């Protein structure tokens, strides 16, 4: 019996054609009938292909035979993936299908603004001839800063190559050698904002990036420089931009908003060019997403390819807490080695009962390092993600002789510039079902539970340091909930780990680090993201 596929959206007919030609599907495509009516009329639907339509629990319950949902695009925020998992429904997406469309939109916005295309068109249609008023600028030879070198950021770099622009990039996940192949010079954020004539944003909105573009970075921009946001609205602190834009005479080109809907937009007073989230709105992007949606469904059904499923279950036989452990240990290792230094190598060791799941445990490791990667993907997708980012991954052979039953070690190596490398190693396990860090570099026997807001200070061992840290925190009204203070094997350095009741203000944290002459220091919120139900 053929499987019914319902496409309740305006999607390129190539998806319907591919599935029909396959012979194993009957396809119903209808973008005019309300989706509730369609689901009521087709309760035997096996697979649903959507774009931005909301797929909630009610809609899924109206389709008792539903087994697959394919999002023809990247984001799955309109789909209740957790409920789908409870129902045994696999959710897939088509990442990268829209990347070129967004990359070309960035260049189109740059050119349109630089040459006043929109205003000049309106003026000329009105019968005016204002050549002097629309004196423009050339983008050739200018410096373009690309924040985020994922699929879109990399395509932006390739597409502007013909303009002979100097390219700066910021992406802690991208290996420097990989970036050099794109002729992109990797720098830190302050340098990128300070030296670029154009800055284009291509990062997800998450805890690390929300409000990332703030007054400090904006004030570093050249007078008259241009900021382009085709990523997410929350990446920019809007009030900071409003204030600094006038001071620095910046240009702001925008295609993203808190909600995709009609109505007034809060950035209307500061945006020099506004588009209604047109990044993926090209015939080619629609075609690519539709084609990939159909091909991935066939791959899944005929060959069992699960690479694009974004709500996978924990493998049978693996305790879910070990996946959380891999995630948290990697987050901790990233903090130790430096959040903003380009990642070069990931090495893992899985012992005891974890050894058979080594291939799968790469997934939470990669998810902890980059929010672009969904923790619900599979190992093939994780390895592909690393390969596309130029990051090497090695899973080391392990034996029972090492004496680390049911534990794991995560090592990260980053590039410090000039060929210098920095490495950190973290080992952990479960103790009575709770996550536990056993070792950080040469600091062993920690037995530290990695949760909540944690502070880390490495310093030359001497009396009085813990007291100085505690006094400074007390003065700031911050309570210490837990402390670990091991020495290294040589007795030279000490590591102070403190779990506190709230984040430490940056100024206070910096003052503590300076006062104790810390060799390294960072604070981090160690939480496990919600994933599978």
180 — alpha (psi -120 to 50), left (phi > 0) or beta? alpha
| pLDDT the model gives residue 492 | 92
- List the chain domain ranges: 3-97+285-303, 99-274, 312-451, 452-525
Task: Classify residue 469 as exposed, middle or buried by CB count within 10 Å of its CB (0-12, 13-18, 19+).
Answer: buried
Average pLDDT of 140-149?
A: 96
Dihedral angle at the C-alpha atoms of 329, 333, 339, 344, nearest 10 degrees? -110
Instruction: Give the Å distances, CA to CA, from 206 to 212, 214, 235, 506.
Output: 10, 15, 8, 19
Average pLDDT of 157-177?
A: 91
369 and 343 in contact (C-beta within 8 Å)?
yes
- pLDDT one-digit tens code per residue, 207-225: 778 899 999 999 999 999 9
Among 70-74, 99-103, 119-123, 270-274, the least confident range: 70-74
Among 123-137, 202-216, 289-303, the least confident range: 202-216
> What does pLDDT average to over the chain?
91
> Cα angle at 209 between 204 and 213, to 5 degrees?
115
Helix (H, G, I), strand (E, B) or coil at 205: coil
| pLDDT the model gives residue 403 | 58
- pLDDT one-digit tens code per residue, 376-415: 677 888 888 898 888 999 999 886 555 567 899 999 999 8
CATH superfamily of this structure's domain 312-451: D-3-phosphoglycerate dehydrogenase; domain 3 (3.30.1330.90)
Q: Is the pLDDT of residue 370 over 80?
A: yes
- pLDDT one-digit tens code per residue, 481-511: 999 999 988 889 999 999 999 999 999 999 9
Over pLDDT 70: what percentage of the chain? 97
| pLDDT the model gives residue 382 | 87
- pLDDT one-digit tens code per residue, 436-494: 999 999 999 888 999 899 999 999 999 999 999 999 999 999 999 999 999 988 889 99
Fold for domain 452-525?
Answer: Alpha-Beta Plaits (3.30.70)
Paired strand residues for 3: 25
CATH architecture of 99-274: 3-Layer(aba) Sandwich (3.40)
CA-CA-CA-CA torsion sign (18, 21, 22, 23)? positive
The reply to whether domains 3-97+285-303 and 452-525 share a CATH topology is no
Just give the CATH number of 3-97+285-303: 3.40.50.720
Helix then strand count (H, E) for the chain reads 17, 21
């Amino acid at each position: 019996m053929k499987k019914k596929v319902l496409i309740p959206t305006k999607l390129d007919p190539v998806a319907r054609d591919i599935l029909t030609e396959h012979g194993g599907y009957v396809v119903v495509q209808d973008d005019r009938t309300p989706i509730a009516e369609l689901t009521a009329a087709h309760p035997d639907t096996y697979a649903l292909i959507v774009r931005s339509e909301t797929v909630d629990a009610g809609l899924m319950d109206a389709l008792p035979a539903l087994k697959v949902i394919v999002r023809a695009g990247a984001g799955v925020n309109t789909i209740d993936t957790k409920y789908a998992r409870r129902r045994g429904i696999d959710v897939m997406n088509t990442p990268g299908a829209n990347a070129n469309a967004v990359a070309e939109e960035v260049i189109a916005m740059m050119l349109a603004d630089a040459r006043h295309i929109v205003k000049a068109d309106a003026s000329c249609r009105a019968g005016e001839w204002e050549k002097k008023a629309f004196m423009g600028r050339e983008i050739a030879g200018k410096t373009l800063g690309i924040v985020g070198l994922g699929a879109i950021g990399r395509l932006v770099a390739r597409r502007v190559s013909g303009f002979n622009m100097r390219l700066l990039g910021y992406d802690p996940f991208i290996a420097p050698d990989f970036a050099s192949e794109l002729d992109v010079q990797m720098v830190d954020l302050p340098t990128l904002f300070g030296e670029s004539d154009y800055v284009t944003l291509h990062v997800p909105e998450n805890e690390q990036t929300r409000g990332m573009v703030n007054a400090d970075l904006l004030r570093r921009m050249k007078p008259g420089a241009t900021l382009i946001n085709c990523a997410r609205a929350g990446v920019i602190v809007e009030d900071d931009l409003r204030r600094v834009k006038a001071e620095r005479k910046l240009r702001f080109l925008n295609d993203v908003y808190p909600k995709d809907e009609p109505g007034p937009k809060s950035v209307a007073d500061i945006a020099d060019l506004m588009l209604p989230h047109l990044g993926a709105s090209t015939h080619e992007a629609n075609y690519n997403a539709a084609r990939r949606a159909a091909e991935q469904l066939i791959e899944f059904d005929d060959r069992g390819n699960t690479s694009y499923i974004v709500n996978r279950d924990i493998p049978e036989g693996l305790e879910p807490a070990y996946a959380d452990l891999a995630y948290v240990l990697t987050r901790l290792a990233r903090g130790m080695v430096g959040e903003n230094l380009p990642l070069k190598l990931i090495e893992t060791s899985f012992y005891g009962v974890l050894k058979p799941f080594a291939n799968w445990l790469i997934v939470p490791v990669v998810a902890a390092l980059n929010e672009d990667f969904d923790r619900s993907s599979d190992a093939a997708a994780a390895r592909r993600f690393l390969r596309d980012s130029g990051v090497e991954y090695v899973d080391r052979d392990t034996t029972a002789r090492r004496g680390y039953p049911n534990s794991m070690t995560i090592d990260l190596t980053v590039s410090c510039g000039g060929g210098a490398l920095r490495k950190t190693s973290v080992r952990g396990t479960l103790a009575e079902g709770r996550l536990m860090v056993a070792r950080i570099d040469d600091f062993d026997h920690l037995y530290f539970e990695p949760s909540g807001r944690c502070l880390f200070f490495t310093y030359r061992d001497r009396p009085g340091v813990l007291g100085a840290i505690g006094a400074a925190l007390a003065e700031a009204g911050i309570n210490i909930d837990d402390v670990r203070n091991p020495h290294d094997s040589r007795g030279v350095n000490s590591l102070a780990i403190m779990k506190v009741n709230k984040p430490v203000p940056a100024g206070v944290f910096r003052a503590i680090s300076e006062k104790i002459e810390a060799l390294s220091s960072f604070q981090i919120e160690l939480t496990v993201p919600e994933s599978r139900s």
